[in-house]
Amino acid sequence: MIQCPRGTRDFLPDEMERRRFYESVLRDTARTFGFRETETPIFEEAELFILRSGPNILNELYAFRDKGDRELALRPEMTAPAVRMFVNGMSNDPKPIKIFYFGQCFRYERPQSGRYREFFQFGAEIIGSAAPETDAEVIATAAAMIKALGLKEYKLRIGHIGVLRQKLSDAKVPAERFAEVLQKLDKKLYDEARSILASVGVEDADIGSIIDITETVGGPEVLSKIEGDAGAYLKEVLDILTAMGVEGIEIDLGVVRGLDYYTGMVFEAEAPVLGAEKQICGGGSYTLSELFGGEKVFTTGFAIGFDRILLAMEREGIPFVHDGIDAYVLYVSEEARMKAFEIVGDLRSKNVSADVDIMGRKMAKALKYAASARARYAVIIGPKELEEGSVTLRNMSTGEQSLVRICDLASAIKG
């Protein structure tokens, strides 16, 4: 039997219904915050991702040559495509530009619970503004999305990658080795980070203070310990968030992020219920447009791992009630057959979601099918009732039946 490829999944109707519902919660929240939806291709020129995503993403890239010998790649994330789209067609739009997107991404990772090779991100970007207000607005949007989905237990941590970058630069780490060191720090592989730093001549004391930075964690009181302007900057971000009613955010300079393009504020959200793959959202501020042929434009954004957050909600036992259809129409004799199709056509035209027996089943089996389709009502069409212009309406949850005139059927079902 042919299965779907490793690390990918099929979504059956029940799961798809749940996913579509929560997608719409996220879309509504994004719109409430003034973002507008965009869509970019699933594959791009590979260079778009090679230029600046960093070693993590490069090792996991699904890259290939097409028949025209172009180097292409399935998108591993949607920030670089969003900025390319901005440079290509939106650079003259009034700033700030607030966009959001939803779609699948591909990374050649080792699949496990919450980690897939094809997964979905819901992300947003504010393009054209570098200010604490922008960063706060982005974090507030992410926080509102997580809240709107109903996840109970999660932590939001914010940091500033500029502090580590400055420290690496002060310690004379060559710029081309930054990504490698940051990648190890992101994965908390301190020994490996130490040996890279030692190999480029950084002294033990400096290595210690670089690693110490990643352990600067706590409430607003730790902001005063942060060297340079980053502490004051993050305080402003937090103050704006407090004014917007977003509380409970932790400071954590250990938020390093797995992607290489961030330059300033960075943040992550995690759901402890997920165990190892607990990061449900990540983002921060960066500039990429100048790499793609545009002017340098400051941008801040984030992406929620849609599959992961749904998994966390499931683990927390958040119930989801499936919709079903309003009515299932069945007929009990050959004379009533055409009438069944006429009635279902009429119900659908009146916006009643209705299905009809297309397999000519006996009543008991047809009713069983109606229950599995989660129909609220069964409409039973028999020859005797038809003579009087009526049908039997059966409430599928109580089993109660009543005679209803065909002209009143749609309103009886809607009512």
CB of residue 296 to ligand HAM, shortest distance in Å? 16
What's the CA gap between 57 and 149, in Å, rounded? 28
- The residue among 4 and 364 lying less far from ligand HAM, judged by its C-beta, is 4
Judged by DSSP in three states, 345 sits in: helix
- The residue among 160 and 339 lying less far from ligand HAM, judged by its C-beta, is 160
Pure H helices in 316-362: 337-349
- The residue among 306 and 331 lying less far from ligand HAM, judged by its C-beta, is 306
Residue 255 and residue 222 in contact, taking contact as beta carbons nearer than 8 Å = no
Instruction: Give every CB contact of residue 131 below 8 A, 6+ residues apart in sequence.
Output: none
Query: Structure tokens of 9?
Result: 């999944």
- The residue among 115 and 337 lying less far from ligand HAM, judged by its C-beta, is 115
CB of residue 166 to ligand HAM, shortest distance in Å? 21
List residues near ligand HAM by CB under 6 A. 77, 79, 107, 109, 115-116, 119, 121, 123, 125, 258-259, 279-284, 301-303, 305, 307-308
Quickly tell me which residue has 């937090």 as its tokens: 238
Question: How many residues belong to the chain?
Answer: 415
Question: Where is 401: in which H helix or E strand?
Answer: strand 401-405
- The residue among 125 and 180 lying less far from ligand HAM, judged by its C-beta, is 125
Phi then psi for 54, rounded to 5 degrees? 95, 170
- The residue among 231 and 264 lying less far from ligand HAM, judged by its C-beta, is 264
- The residue among 180 and 260 lying less far from ligand HAM, judged by its C-beta, is 260
CB of residue 162 to ligand HAM, shortest distance in Å? 15
Residue 236 and residue 223 in contact, taking contact as beta carbons nearer than 8 Å = no
CB of residue 393 to ligand HAM, shortest distance in Å? 46
Q: Tell me which residue has its CB nearest to ligand HAM.
A: 305
CB of residue 308 to ligand HAM, shortest distance in Å? 4
N- to C-terminal Cα separation, the chain: 47
What's the CA gap between 396 and 115, in Å, rounded? 40
Question: Where is 156: in which H helix or E strand?
Answer: strand 155-160
CB of residue 238 to ligand HAM, shortest distance in Å? 19
CB of residue 30 to ligand HAM, shortest distance in Å? 13
Ramachandran area for residue 244 (φ above 0: left; ψ -120 to 50: alpha; else beta): alpha
Query: Structure tokens of 324?
Result: 């079903």
